[in-house]
Amino acid sequence: MNILLAGGAGYIGSHTAVELLNAGHDVVIVDDYSNSCPEALKRVEQITGKSFVSYEADIKDKKAVSQIFYQNNIDCVIHFAGLKAVGESVRQPVRYYRNNIDTTLTLLECMQEAGVKNIVFSSSATVYGEDNPMPCVETMKRGCCTNPYGWTKYMMEQILEDAAFADAGLSVILLRYFNPVGAHASGLIGEDPQGIPNNLMPYVSQVAVGKRDCLTVFGGDYATPDGTCRRDFIHVMDLANAHLKAIEYAVQRKGVDIFNIGTGTPYSVLDIIKAFEAAAGVRIKYEIGARRAGDLPECWANADKAARVLGWRAQRDLAAMCRDAWKWQSNNPEGYK
């Protein structure tokens, strides 16, 4: 298949490109590099030994995206494009709503005009909100999100579901990610946040490599075993493989289907610090700070449906996540620069 990766130069997109290329698919990558780097695509070619088509364009630019669809015989779209930091979304809600919802509407309009009927969407566990018990199951209600980022994912899911209801030929797969971490085992590609990292693992990695002095743990008084938040962390290459399974499933059916993509095991912030110290052989300096707006105490997945329907389960453990994250960071202390 020829697969368009919207936002494909980013952290998850680049790792998914490796998985798709290695499986024999063709990819077309579109990215504006607002939160990514062209160097990542050079390294994808280095890892796979395969070439692919790429464009620098804003997914919100309908004229540019329409031309890309016209120039390429696209079979399926994977929609990664969007802003993704919880804390930043609380500070900049209008920017998040404008960017994330517009990318989705533009892709759907261009797909309709080009006759493309398959889309896999990069959704998030944040759509479950704060009222559901753990672990999260796909049949739980959405909403009561704790931050604008979560609400954009909620709204984008609804837009995609409505589009599929209106077009019986459309196949929509919603992948609800939990917390992607780690890097490709080669150490050539990984997570390279611009500025101060918004997520835990890259911040820990930067403290370990000496780029940051100290990690602030947001809250030490939650009702969890050690007082810090617990999350379901998943290796980015396991997540990439879930996209491969999802596109193969998407072309066989119509309508909407939803899958949790996680390990089913929650780890606390302190668990991550200890595991990273073991992987890197260095001490991570940290301090307990105030709680961060928009954070839930605990969130983890029931991923049984993905195993049953897609034949997918996470294969890599926390030690592998930390080992590969450290290999990327230690080999690239300044990221792709």
Give, for 54, the enclosing helix (H) or strand (E): strand 53-56
- Cα–Cα dist 246/119, whole Å: 9
Kindly list the distances between the CA atom of residue 160 and the CA atoms of 14, 108, 171, 237, 246, in Å, as whole numbers in the listed order: 24, 8, 10, 26, 16
**Residue in 96, 149, 249, 267 annotated catalytic:** 149
- Cα–Cα dist 242/225, whole Å: 30
- Token pair of 275 as six digits: 């595991």
Other C-beta atoms closer than 10 Å to the C-beta of 24 total 8
- Token pair of 271 as six digits: 């668990």
Other C-beta atoms closer than 10 Å to the C-beta of 336 total 16
Kindly list the distances between the CA atom of residue 42 and the CA atoms of 39, 99, 202, in Å, as whole numbers in the listed order: 5, 26, 22
Give, for 268, the enclosing helix (H) or strand (E): strand 266-268
**Catalytic residue check, 149:** yes
- Cα–Cα dist 169/254, whole Å: 6
At residue 132, what is the residue type? Answer: N
**CA-only gyration radius of the chain, Å:** 19
User: Phi and psi at residue 258, in whole multiples of 5°?
Assistant: -125, 135
Residues with a catalytic annotation lie at 149
